[in-house]
Structure 1
Amino acid sequence: MTLEEKAHQAGHTAPAVPRLGIPAYNWWNEGLHGVARAGVATVFPQAIGMAATWDTDRMHESATIISDEFRAKYLETLQPDGSSGFYQGLTVWSPNINIFRDPRWGRGQETYGEDPLLTGEIAKAFISGLQGNDPKYYKTIATSKHYAVHSGPEQGRHQQDFYPTPKDLEETYLPAFRTTVRDGKVGSIMCAYNALYGVPACASQFLMEEKLRKQWGFDGYVVTDCGSAANIYREDALAYETDRVNGVALGFIAGMDVICGDYRNNLTTEPEQIIEAVQRGVLPAEILDRALVRLFTARMKLGMFDPYESLPWADITKSDFDTPEHHAKSLEMAKASMVLLKNEGDLLPLKSAPRRIAVLGPNADSFDTLVGNYYGTPSDPVTVLDGIRARFPDSEIEYIQGTGLVGAPEVDVDPAALCVDAACSRQGLTAEHFDNRNLEGTPSETTVEERPYVQWRSAGRESSIRWTGFLKAPESGTYNFRFASENGYRVYVDGKPVVEEWGVGDAPSILSGSTTLEAGKVYPIRVESWQRGQRGEQWLVWNRPGDTGERAVEAARNADLVIFVGGLSARIEGEEMRVEADGFAGGDRTKIGLPKPQEDLLQQVHAIGKPMVLVLMNGSALAVNWADENVSAIVEAWYPGGSGGHAVAQLLAGDYSPAGRLPVTFYHDLDDLPGFTDYSMENRTYKYHKGEVLYPFGYGLSYTSFAYSNPSAAVNANGTVTVTVDVANTGAMDSDEVVQLYLSRSDLPDQPIRSLAGFDRIHLAKGEKRTVTFDLDERALSTVDVQGVRAVHPGTVNFWVGGGQPVSRPGLTQAPGASESFRLTGAIRVLPK
């Protein structure tokens, strides 16, 4: 290749080199919990929900299905010359294995929780499913991200520089990455936006050369987070090196191999900088060649230069996605992820189908809260309301939203209020479609449509639409308007802007605006929207003056059972986004309680005195203190995927026993947590938090009961330890149980309260008893001192094995379990990092 050709291959949009038979390839694809942003696909629960299963077998099976669908989508979109475009390739930027150290982080929903062992084991299973087990070829290539020490805040993520202690780095922030490299054999790593110890992550030889390649033996490629290569030199970012060309050279020398530019924030790193760096002599040509060897090795191992029929997955066809079999597995995963947080008086499972059910709350009929972020489009999404209607067909079900997530309830704008002309002689609006994001030029299509609504079409990467016409106000008062879009939008009424959120894209907004209208009066209306990628339906919503919580209270008064479905959504917690609401900032949270409009309505409805179930749908811990004290039953449903509504309804009915366990701590409040930008682990997570918590890590109730007995530990001659315990289902229902093993070293200074050392999700029929065994190697038995040295120390090791941690509080019963101890002898054995 020429230098110019090489430079272009080092960007995420690698162009074709026809003279060498190289097709174009876009390295950017997402697969956090299913094939994302490529149209219809099977959508599994959000990552935090899959972690709540504590089930590596199900995780592997789910990822295997996801990789099948990646292969199918790749075939469906492959060009005749073998080229593959944006969101069409086989390089998957997942899993996110950052430690969810603080409940304020909006992207914590993408992770596997707060524990390095759980994160590493779940990620390893996910990676093996994505990459397959063929000795020669990758099925897809997984990417462990964001390397390293990256978990918020979203605001300022391009400027942040973190200095964790050597102990915290070795004990908390790096173990999951080490696991995915050494044990999971992950093919790719993504370097992060932030700096570590004063050096941008994508220019850190400590991270990419010393740790990743020399200590852990990584032989894959490193891709930058999108825009993070530019952070090396940007004045408004890390500004580690002010010269753009030198900055890019530093990244390649340190070990980055392919640059993702960030079109959302105009943070591109042009090939011309790479060319100039080589010509100046600041980037040795052999370093650029090293990157390209890694990149083309990956493409070859994906089979991109071989006849498709010769590959191990040649039986996968372009139609092997979104199948009924895949839907069934998604539902299984959703059911396995459900966590029962409270069940006072054994309200659940329901003894019989209630005659009248009031379904209330902003998430009851919400598509957004099924899918979380980084998602595909389920072909038949089942909301909680849908699931309840399907499971209780003979019940009288009244659905009233009652409140929005952070404000007034929103519903679709009534098409009867929209007119083509001022005389309202014809219903609808005039729609102009453009093949660009800025409504430029001549429309590609002009139609009259019933309402501002679009099902995004895959014809182009970007599109925009303008709807114009008139609105006849059905009643007098203040109206709120929002366009339920994945990207930017604007709404004008009577020639005045009501809401402007043209945005930089990617993160969906929930921004709305208000205006006062008079009943019967006709107002000009204009709605504009742009969109990138394939992201499903978008439409205009409003809140009318009379739509308040009073109707929800009345529905509760007439019901035999109230199901309140609340929480958050990826429109208010997520990646670097705009949310103008109390308790939220830039995608993160500044408060961790249930948003006030929801809390207020919940209390009003509870005062009616009817049996109530609170279903939470969210990607991070919620301090539902009032609900814990007052509501009879609480279910944590996360963002449960395309079939999630069925999983919730079947749980309430008792079709299965819940066995999900929390992968994060639910705190009472933020008062006793360190500051968000403080990356010290002191008083964080179950390992170091000293105060009482609302619900502990590893917690979850069941519809049956379990008993643990005969805990024992055998220290083997090779230094390993075998722990066994008998677990019995002593209740009246078949159920899974998550057996958790924790170790404590109170004889050593500066150690965690306890640390998860093993887990196993098992199924026990009622009355069944089984012996569960854990084999602990030297790394599982090791501890980390304040200098960051990992070693196995002689002394007494106390262990607890049970269905959760050995902690309780008033109103919260300790999980069943048993404790014992064993002694380690001999000299201190220092382990490699």
Structure 2
Amino acid sequence: MASPSQIISITLLLLLLLGAFAKARDPFACDPKDATTSNFPFCKVSMPISNRVKDLLGRLKLQEKVRLLMNNAAAVPRLGIKGYEWWSEALHGVSNVGPGTKFGGAFPGATSFPQVITTAASFNATLWEAIGRVKVRQPMPQVVSDEARAMYNGGAAGLTYWSPNVNIFRDPRWGRGQETPGEDPVVIGTYAASYVKGLQGNNGDRLKVAACCKHFTAYDLDNWNGVDRFHFNAKVSKQDMEDTFDVPFKMCVQDGNVASVMCSYNQVNGVPTCADPNLLKKTVRGQWNLNGYIVSDCDSVGVFYNTQHYTSTPEEAAADAIKAGLDLDCGPFLAQYTENAVTKGLLNEVDVNSALVNTLTVQMRLGMFDGEPSEQSFGNLGPKDVCAPAHQQLALEAARQGIVLLKNRGPSLPLSHLRHRTVAVIGPNSNATVTMIGNYAGVACGYTSPLQGVGNYAKTIHQMGCADVACVDDKLFSGAIDAARQADATVLVMGLDQSMEAEFKDRTELLLPGRQQELISKVAMASKGPTILVLMSGGPIDVSFANNDPRIGSILWAGYPGQAGGAAIADVLYGTTKPEGKLPMTWYPQGYVSNILMTDMAMRSSPNRNYPGRTYRFYKGPVVYPFGHGLSYTNFVHTIASAPTVVSVPLDGHHHSGNATVSGKSIKVNHAKCNKLSVGLQVDVKNTGSEDGTHTMLVFWMPPAGHWAPHKQLVAFAKVHVKAGSQQRVGINIHVCKFLSVVDRSGVRRIPIGIHDLHIDGVKHSLSLQAATLGVIKT
């Protein structure tokens, strides 16, 4: 009989053999073995892509063109082009959501990173790109895109990934808030650009995979109080559109050079986003210069015809969408009705050609018309590159960096190997696996649950306490209470899962479900040692009771921490890893959602109608934990070593201060010379504690008072590792026009003249912005 080690060795060998002999995908087009097609000009790699696309379009018939307008694009056999499924997802790892990706055979799983909201809590732009980019075998290959390319080469995935989600987490009840980087537009935009660069690679105009920023725009309601996303008309002011909802998408397109933008289901101010030329053609492609294609959310065109009744006929809907700037339909609608729209004169074939130019160009940038893939086009990637050890280690590191220490009374953490040898691990998420990867996930390489993670440090006593997160009864309470009485420390792993918050499932309240609060309080009362509460969730939870309970020593928020989440939680509990995450969203009390409609899109508060405003930028009421909150096991002190006190904003020469300002109080951004106009700070960060630690430094800006401005705005953030007792200097550059500007009620961005304050924890620095015809920065 074989020993366990022999069985493992045999299994690994079989997996390696399976990977070595995985069937490679035949070329999508321009197969060099096909003599009838390989000499077409559109197959010649040496020609400019624009010429190749023009040649291919000239060979296509209208009937063939319209069948290329859908996600399940039809083959064109006479030209040697195979069918292609555009819909794949890679929100936080290659996902099996969407028909473009299939797990099994040589690809049983893929690395599942923490859900986006957890990764965002790291405030680490380098990590955000590293999830797509880490040094493994080639100069700067990308982790998720390595795995995506490997699966594409093996015939198991596509090359066009409809990720990331960069919508604002505007309302804490939104079930898809977990997919986003939080509530701050600058953080989201920075995440978007970083993640997109990691996915798409650094190969010039060539793409490793094509990313997509979604869902454009003002989309942040799925199904609340009888209102669903298919019927919702988001009424948004020009001011909120410019300074909140559009910011991440603009940064994604301009800073990330994303290959695609997805329009959303909802209407904005009465017009479906996928039929709005002002949003698609004028803004995304015109003003922001998208170098790529625009795709609908799935069945969005059918939704605005069948559900929203925006047009009288399906042909009008198809024509409106394409003329608005839509290039690809996730769904069959355009393939079914576009040809008739052309026949009826509602649409010109040249409009169809314009859409196909954008999609075909992206496919050619991906190398799909280059014949056999070479090593330079990632043809060497295969099963060995999926779930690679370095990828899984990065998933663990991402989870560690995203965990947020919300409370640490005493302090209760970190736990001690010597004093806390037996730990009661309790709660419906205590042995969670699939819950840890959230939604839009695939099949993970493997899981380490919280119970397993703590078990690597101590002897565990495990009790669920509740059958699931709904926690409808107290049948399992007694076992949990007994476990807490026996153990040296108690870890309660509570919170939510996809049954409580998900796509098409918004929450109605912010409290823990069912009788979870009762279980936590009773266990804490019985616990012999320190009681630690660990929360899994995408959205915020009102845990005021636990924050105020002296018997609950510490509270950790882990979000949905990915496949290695349990190991990361245990590492933080025992201090192997020091907590460094910060909350990327405000945690409100339950009373907040009792008084505010989810359908009200206004960001700013309105005392006249008792409206409190949204997100830390505009809300001033009570909170459970504020945006940016997160404790450490050590203490950091900031000192501003150097910073300007006066900044002169140069005008562009066509405007003088008289017509560039309003009452001398602001300068229109488009009247200023913005290029390279930035404020540079040098900040010393000293670790005054006894533990080495990594500090997450947040820089907030408070503009001169005025009804246009937010109360405060995050304008920069940085990570710095500082040893105990030592000091590190951090350089920060803040672009004046982008980050020290406000938006007026007409949607015009302006730079306020006057005193601006920068805050880093308790340290404040004031600088004066002044209009000048010749711009210099004075110190």
Q: Give the TM interval when normalised to the shorter protein.
A: 0.7 to 0.9
TM-score by length of 2: 0.81
Question: Which digits, 9 at most, give the CA deviation of each residue in 1:31-77, with x for residues without a partner?
Answer: 00000014300000000011001001111111220110000111112
Structure 2: any 5+ residue segments left out of the alignment? 1-59, 97-101, 104-108, 133-141, 605-612, 651-676, 775-779
Corresponding residue for residue 364 of structure 2: 300
The answer to whether the 8 Å contact 1:96/1:145 transfers is yes
Corresponding residue for residue 728 of structure 1: 686
The number of residues matched between the two structures is 650
> 1:723: how far off?
2.3
Matches within 5 A, 1:423-434: none
3-state SS of 2:436 partner: helix
Question: Which digits, 9 at most, give the CA deviation of each residue in 1:444-466, with x for residues without a partner?
Answer: xxxxxxxxxxxxxxxxxxxxxxx
Corresponding residue for residue 442 of structure 1: none
Corresponding residue for residue 357 of structure 1: 423
3-state SS of 2:643 partner: strand
Structure 2 vs 1, CA of residues 650 and 338 (structure 1 numbering), >3 Å: closer, same or farther? same
The answer to whether the 8 Å contact 1:798/1:819 transfers is yes
3-state SS of 2:559 partner: coil
Corresponding residue for residue 771 of structure 2: 826
RMSD of Structure 2 on Structure 1 (CA): 1.8
> 1:270: how far off?
5.7
Task: Report the AA paired with residue 468 of structure 2.
Answer: G
Corresponding residue for residue 669 of structure 2: none
3-state SS of 1:331 partner: helix
Paired with 2:81 and 2:726, the residues of 1 have a C-alpha distance of 59
Matches within 5 A, 1:359-758: 359-392=425-458, 395-408=459-472, 547-576=475-504, 587-610=505-528, 611-630=530-549, 631-671=552-592, 674-682=596-604, 683-710=613-640, 712-714=642-644, 715=646, 719-758=677-716
Task: Report the AA paired with residue 734 of structure 1.
Answer: D
3-state SS of 2:515 partner: helix
Task: Report the AA paired with residue 358 of structure 1.
Answer: A
Residue 277 (str. 1) matches residue 355 (str. 2): no
> 1:310: how far off?
5.5
3-state SS of 2:250 partner: helix
Residue 771 (str. 1) matches residue 735 (str. 2): no
> 1:547: how far off?
4.8
Paired with 1:741 and 1:213, the residues of 2 have a C-alpha distance of 32
> 1:720: how far off?
2.6
Corresponding residue for residue 24 of structure 1: 83
Paired with 2:592 and 2:570, the residues of 1 have a C-alpha distance of 35
> 1:391: how far off?
2.6
> 1:593: how far off?
1.0
TM-score by length of 1: 0.76
The answer to whether the 8 Å contact 1:743/1:798 transfers is yes
Q: 268, 285, 289: which is aligned to 1:217?
A: 289
Deviates more, 1:69-78 or 1:194-203: 69-78
Paired with 2:375 and 2:758, the residues of 1 have a C-alpha distance of 51
> 1:358: how far off?
1.2
Q: 256, 262, 266: which is aligned to 1:194?
A: 266
3-state SS of 2:625 partner: coil
> 1:21: how far off?
1.3
Task: Report the AA paired with residue 255 of structure 2.
Answer: D
The answer to whether the 8 Å contact 1:403/1:601 transfers is no
Structure 2 vs 1, CA of residues 396 and 723 (structure 1 numbering), >3 Å: closer, same or farther? closer
> 1:398: how far off?
3.0
Matches within 5 A, 1:239-254: 239-254=309-324
3-state SS of 1:249 partner: helix
> 1:784: how far off?
1.0
> 1:674: how far off?
2.8
Task: Report the AA paired with residue 558 of structure 2.
Answer: A
The answer to whether the 8 Å contact 1:102/1:676 transfers is yes
Corresponding residue for residue 95 of structure 1: 164
> 1:401: how far off?
4.0
Residue 150 (str. 1) matches residue 215 (str. 2): no
Task: Report the AA paired with residue 608 of structure 1.
Answer: A
Question: Which digits, 9 at most, give the CA deviation of each residue in 1:113-146, with x for residues without a partner?
Answer: 0000000111111000000000141000010000
Paired with 1:733 and 1:316, the residues of 2 have a C-alpha distance of 42
3-state SS of 2:374 partner: helix
Task: Report the AA paired with residue 239 of structure 2.
Answer: K
The answer to whether the 8 Å contact 1:31/1:92 transfers is yes
Paired with 1:27 and 1:141, the residues of 2 have a C-alpha distance of 10
Task: Report the AA paired with residue 370 of structure 1.
Answer: M
3-state SS of 1:223 partner: strand
3-state SS of 2:759 partner: strand
Paired with 1:595 and 1:408, the residues of 2 have a C-alpha distance of 8
Structure 2 vs 1, CA of residues 824 and 326 (structure 1 numbering), >3 Å: closer, same or farther? same
The answer to whether the 8 Å contact 1:75/1:318 transfers is no
Matches within 5 A, 1:7-46: 7-37=66-96, 38-39=102-103, 40-46=109-115
Question: Which digits, 9 at most, give the CA deviation of each residue in 1:724-758, with x for residues without a partner?
Answer: 22111111111111111111123333311100111
The answer to whether the 8 Å contact 1:134/1:312 transfers is no
Paired with 1:755 and 1:671, the residues of 2 have a C-alpha distance of 21
Deviates more, 1:751-760 or 1:776-785: 776-785
Paired with 1:321 and 1:226, the residues of 2 have a C-alpha distance of 28
Paired with 1:547 and 1:596, the residues of 2 have a C-alpha distance of 13
Identify, as 1 or 2, the structure richer in strand: 1
Percent pairwise identity: 37
> 1:379: how far off?
2.5
Paired with 1:828 and 1:760, the residues of 2 have a C-alpha distance of 33
Structure 2 vs 1, CA of residues 828 and 153 (structure 1 numbering), >3 Å: closer, same or farther? farther
The answer to whether the 8 Å contact 1:52/1:337 transfers is yes
Paired with 1:243 and 1:321, the residues of 2 have a C-alpha distance of 47
Corresponding residue for residue 458 of structure 1: none
